[in-house]
Chain A
Amino acid sequence: MSDAIVLKYDVPGDDFTRAGEASSDIKQKLRKMGIPPEAIRKVAISMYEGEINMVIHAHGGQITVEITPEDVDMLLEDHGPGIADIEQAMQAGFSTAPEDVRGLGFGAGMGLPNMKKYSDEFSIESEVGVGTTVHMKVRF
């Protein structure tokens, strides 16, 4: 895959002043590459929600993004507390966000539903005490 660009981001945990940097950076790069706006929007939404979840719920993590001529592949890995009931976490409106974080505008329980809705491929694996891995793909 000589045409693929691979980018890695360290997402700092609990630092809201830097949250969204990785997604913003990817968005800018895709724009420069001339990717269609609708695909960029889907990547921006999916990745931002994943990035923020790592900051709020998992004390940070790592994002690996692979851009090919056909799609953007996003792998989000964290070693946070994990999710006990993924089906429940995926429900619109479900949130365990603490009160202070809600005061910043988070905690609608729409992050995971947005990620599923706006990515063309979505999978999530999680183990309590080990961490969470989210894999998403957006096709151009």
Chain B
Amino acid sequence: MTIRELADKGIFKVVCAGDDTDREISGVFCCDLLSVVMGRGKADAAWVTVMGNINSLAVLSLTDMACIVLAEGAQMDAVGIARAETQGFTIFATDQPIFETAMQIQALLDA
């Protein structure tokens, strides 16, 4: 499933569409502690987190994950949105809890 295909499902709010929407998502990763994510985040994963700030964008980019999915109604702050827009990162958001959000994405990947 590509980033665009996930966006088109309409299950998550698209906060920033991003530039690389043809990119394939492979896997889901959940964690909010940035240095754990740094050490374990897998390239091309959808990263489900509540951390919506400039630092989570740095971690997204350095680990080559595909996109951020903000769960639990968490929001990306204004500085983060501006950065995501200039750098072309994809950010989704949902009010669902982290586990349910991750399961939703995994189910789509398995389909």
Interface residues of A (CB under 8 A from B): 16-17, 19-20, 23-24, 27, 37, 41, 44-45, 48-49, 52, 104-111, 113-114, 117-118
- Which residue on chain A has the smallest CB distance to residue B82? A17
Judged by a CB distance under 8 angstroms, whether B111 is at the interface is no
Is the CB–CB distance between B53 and A48 below 8 Å? no
B38 touching A45, Cβ below 8 Å: yes
| CB atoms of B58 and A108 under 8 A apart | no
Q: A45-B39, A49-B38, A106-B55 are in contact. Are A24 and B61 (CB under 8 A)?
A: yes
How distant is the Cα of A41 from the Cα of B41 in the complex, in angstroms? 11
* Chief secondary structure at chain A's binding surface: helix
Residues of B with C-beta under 8 A to A114: 35, 38-39
Chain B residues near A106 (CB-CB < 8 A) = 34-35, 55
Contacts of A49 in B (CB 8 A): 35, 38
Q: Is B107 an interface residue (CB 8 A)?
A: no
B34 neighbours in A (Cβ, 8 Å) = 52, 104-106, 108
Whether the Cβ atoms of A27 and B62 lie closer than 8 Å is yes
Q: Quick one: which of B35, B49, B55 contacts A19, CB cutoff 8 A?
A: B55
Bound form: Cα–Cα A113–B59 in Å? 17
Further 16 A-B residue pairs, CB within 8 A, beyond A20-B58, A41-B63, A117-B39: A20-B54, A23-B58, A23-B62, A41-B43, A44-B62, A44-B63, A48-B38, A48-B59, A104-B51, A104-B55, A105-B32, A105-B34, A107-B33, A108-B34, A108-B36, A114-B35
Q: From A109, which residue of chain B is reached at the shortest CB distance? A: B35
CA distance A17 to B39 in the complex (A): 21
Q: In the complex, which residues of chain A have a beta carbon less than 8 angstroms from the beta carbon of B20?
A: none
The answer for the CA separation of A71 and B44 in the assembled complex, in Å, is 25
Give B70-100 interface residues, CB cut-off 8 Å to A: 79
For the complex, give the distance between the alpha carbons of A105 and B35 in Å: 8
Q: Are B58's CB and A24's CB within 8 A?
A: yes
Q: Which 10 interchain pairs have the tightest Cβ spacing?
A: A20-B58, A108-B33, A110-B35, A105-B34, A44-B62, A105-B51, A114-B39, A111-B35, A108-B35, A108-B36
Expressed in whole angstroms, the Cα–Cα distance for A19 and B38 within the complex equals 14
Docked complex Cα distance between A109 and B56 (Å): 17
Chain A nearest CB, measured from B74 CB (Å): 11
Q: Which residue of chain A has the shortest Cβ distance to B87 in the bound complex? A: A24
CA A16 to CA B57, docked complex, whole Å: 12
